[in-house]
Structure 1
C-alpha cells in the first residue's frame, strides 16, 4: 500500500485552516473543512497547479505550497448548497451556522422590535377598524334589574342628552321597583328611565339621566343594503364591553318569529339576517356598515335546538332594519308611543292555503275586519295572499312581517288568489294602530287578530322557535 503524501501536514503551510484555533483541528470530533471541487463525483474539475490561487492568496504562496490535503469525508458541495439556501431564506443564516459550531463564550445579541407602520392597519372609512372606532363611541352598556333578576344588553346613543335606543326585551323586565343602569363609552355609569316601547318591533327608547355632550350614532339606511355587504356589530356580550365582531349581510327581509312557552302564539317581526357573531348582551346594540353608520339594531340569533339539547346553529343573527327603527324611535322620543301598520285581516299558521288544497303558496285569510284596509281594497275571507309589494308570501307569519316593513298609511300592492283560483293585484292603503302589544300569529286553527295582546312576548326564557332574544 502506498502512503498518500496528503496525509501528512505540510510544516510550511501556515494557512488559517491549520491554526490552533480552528474548530476542525482543535476538536477531533469535527471533520476537516471541505475543499470545494476536490471530488470529481459531483462534476467539479481537479485542481490545476498552475491556476490562480483561490480566496485571494498570492501566486507565489500558491506555488510554494503543496496541494491541500484531501479530506476523508463526504464532499462539501451539499453543505455549500444548504448554507446558500438557508442564507437566501433566513437572510444571512449561513453566518449563524458558523457561530453554532463555536463553543466559545459570547454575549447574546440584544432582541429588537420594529414599530408597526401606520399603513399596516387600515383605519380609513370603508374598513372594519374605522367602523369599530366610530360605532364604539356611540354604544352603551345597559343593565336592568327587576323582579326576575338582572338583564344585560346594549344601546345606541341617539342624542347628546342621553336618548338611547335598545330592544324592548332588554328593558321589559324593569317593572315596578326595577332600575336601569347605563355605562357610557367613557366608563361612567348613570341611571336611566324608559321613555317608550314598541313591542311589535322589539324596540324601546330610554333616557340616561344627567348627561350631555354624548356622541350620537350616525344612522344610515337599510333599504340600500346588499347581500354580501360587510357589516360590524358592537355590543357587550357576556358583559364584555365594546366587543367588536364583523361579518356580512346574509339576507334581507327575513321573517323572525318568537314562540311563547305554550307554543300557541308566535311573535313576528321583519329582520336583516347576518352572520356577524352576536351573543347574549349584544341585544339593542348597533349593526353598522363600514362607514360606521347604523343599519340595524341587533335583536336575536338562531340557536337551532340548543335550548332543548339539540345542535347549536351558528352564523344566523337578526337585526331590526334601521329604516324601521328610526321611524319608531322618533315617535317614542316625541310622545312615548309608536304606531304600526295594520292590514285588517286574521289567520293562522295552521290554516291551509285555500279550501281546495291546491298548490298555491301563500297566507290564507281567515277573516277580514269590517271597514279595515283589506276590506276597503276588496279582500275577502278565503283569499290567499301570495305577495306584498313584490315580496313573496309563504305563510301567515310572512304576511305579518311584510306588513310591518311598511309605514301606516302607505299604499302597497298585493297579489291574491281567490277561492276559484283566479289571481289579481290589489292596492291596499295600510291602516294604523298604537303599538302597545306584540304582533302575534296563532299556531292553532282558530284565527288570531293582527295586533292582539301578546301573552308571550319575547322574554329571557322564550326561545324564538329556535331563536333566542339577546339581552336577557
Structure 2
C-alpha cells in the first residue's frame, strides 16, 4: 500500500447503531496522479511569485481565479456507498481505510492558499512578549511531547511507478535506521528522506513486513541523529491523550492531538498487490491525513506508542473524519528489530483456513485445518468456531487473524472454541513463518499449505472481501 496509495475494509456505522460498518476499497491507495500532478511545477512557481512580493495572488495560467472547485485537489478517492448489514454488538471494527498517504497529491497544493489583501493604514496594534509559562513546555503537555518527538520524525518521498508517494517516518538509530509503513515505500525506485533540520538524504529499504504494513529504511551519509523513544502500547488506556506527527498533504512537522478512541480494532486494508492486509490496530481521533502514514503516534511523555497507518473516509472526502488507525508499537518494535537484525521479519502461524468475507458476528468459522500445523496439533478441526483468543472476543475470521497476528511466533494462546453447541478451550503454541507476503495472500510461499492461515485463498473460493475490484 502506499501511504498514500490505499486502504479499505469495513467499519462502524453510526446510522445503523452497528459497531462495525461496511466499506469498500479505493482503486489503489490514493490513485495515480491526475492532471493536477503535471501542473505542480507551474503552480508552485506561480504561487511563489505571488508570495514573494506580498502582493495579490497571481492568477493561474488557465485564466481562472478564484480557481474552480477541486482545482487544487489531487486524484479523487473512490468509495462505494456502504451496504446495510446486520446489527452487531461487537467492539471490533474492520475499516476500509485510505492509507494516510499521498501519490502526487502535493500537486498545486500551494496554490490553495490565498493572501490577505492590503488594508488601509492608520491603526497600529501593540504586542507583548510571551511569558515564561507559554515558552517553557511543562512535562506531560502536548507542547513538551511535540518538542521531544519532532527531531525524531522525518518526511519520506518515494518515486514510484504512479508518480511520487509521500509519508512520514520515525528515527530508530543515530546512524539512520527509520521505521515507516510498508505502503509508503513499496515499489519505490528511489527514496529521499528530509530530516527536521531540512537536510535531505537518499535512503534504501532494509526490509519490509507486508502482513504488518511495516518497513525499515536506512539513510545514506547520516550520523548523530536523534532516535525516538519507543513506549509501551500494551499499557495504553482508552481516553488517554495522544499526539500525531507527520507530513499530511506535504506539510512537514504537523502536530495534531486527540485521544486513544479504542484498542484492538481489526483493521483491513488493501495492499499494493490487491491482497487484504489485516492487523490489530489502535483507533484515535487525532486528525491524520494522507502523508501521515509511517509517522509517530505518541503519548504525552513523548514516547512512540503507534505508527499511523490508515484513516476511515466518508464518500468522496479523502480527509480525516476522526477515525484514524495506528499499528501498536509493541508489534512494530518486534518486526523492526527482526528486519534490522536479519532483513526478514517473521509472523505467527496458526494453520487454519476461513473466509474474511463472512460476517456471522458469531465467531470465526474454520473451513479447513492445515496438516501438521499448530492448529492440528492442538486438536482444532473443520467446523470449529473460534469465539475468543485469550480474553479478546472474536466476531469473524478477520478478527481471528488480527488477534493471532498481535502475538509473536512461539507464544501459547488459549482459544475458546464452539462446535455443535459445546464449548471448549484449546491451547495452541503458534508456529513461525517468514513474512514475505500478506497473510491473506494465496500465493505466499509458492503453494498450498504455505500460508499461516491455511495456505489457500481465505476469501472462500477466490472472492474479493471488498465486494469488487481494486
1:343, 1:430 within 8 Å by CA — same for their partners in 2?
Answer: yes
Residues 136-172 of structure 1, C-alpha deviations (whole Å, 9 max, x = no match): 0100110000222110000100000000000000000
Contact (CA 8 Å) 1:439, 1:452: kept in 2 or not? no
Q: Is the counterpart of residue 164 in structure 1 residue 165 in structure 2?
A: no
Q: Decide which of 283, 301, 305 is 1:295's aligned counterpart.
A: 305
| Equivalent in the alignment of 2:8 | none
> TM-score, length-normalised on structure 1?
0.66
Q: Secondary structure at the match of 1:134?
A: helix
Q: What is residue 267 of structure 1 aligned with on the other side?
A: 277
Q: TM-score normalised to the size of structure 2?
A: 0.67
* Alpha-carbon distance, 1:441 to partner: 7.8
1:222 is aligned to 233
CA contact (8 A) 2:335 2:346 kept: yes
- Preserved contact between residue 210 and residue 438 of structure 2 (Cα < 8 Å): yes
Provide Cα deviations, 1:425-452, integer angstroms capped at 9, x if missing partner: 111101111000012289xxxx995468
1:119 aligns with 2:133: yes
Partner of 2:5: none
Larger radius of gyration: 1
- 1:355-377 residue CA offsets vs partner (Å, 9 max, x unmatched): xxxxx810000000112111111
Show CA shifts across 1:245-272 (max 9, x none). 0000000010001247998x53211110
C-alpha separation in 1, matches of 2:149 and 2:321: 24
Tell me the equivalent position of 2:412.
Answer: 411
Is contact 2:412–2:429 with CA below 8 Å preserved after alignment? yes
Q: Unmatched 5+ residue regions in structure 2?
A: 1-121, 443-448, 458-463
The aligned counterpart of 1:235 is: 246
Distance 1:171 1:109 in 2: 52
**Partner Cα separation in structure 1 for residue 399 and residue 247 of structure 2:** 31
Partner of 2:421 in structure 1? 421
| Pair 1:434 & 2:434 matched | yes
Give distance in 1, aligned partners of 2:451 and 2:225.
42
Aligned length: 336
Matches within 5 A, 1:30-429: 112-120=126-134, 123-174=137-188, 178-259=189-270, 266-304=276-314, 306=315, 309=316, 314-351=321-358, 361-418=362-419, 420-429=420-429
- Superposed displacement of residue 464, structure 1: 11
Contact 1:352 1:364 in 2 (8 A): no
Q: 5+ residue gaps in structure 1?
A: 1-107, 354-359, 456-462, 467-472
In structure 1, C-alpha distance between the alignment counterparts of 2:123 and 2:382, rounded to whole Å: 87
Q: Partners of 2:320 and 2:184 in 1: how far apart?
A: 23
> Any conservation in 1 of the 2:181–2:215 contact (CA below 8 Å)?
yes
Distance (Å, rounded) in 2 between the aligned partners of 1:332 and 1:454: 26
Specify whether residues 336 and 452 from structure 1 end up closer, same or farther in structure 2 by C-alpha distance, changes over 3 A only: farther
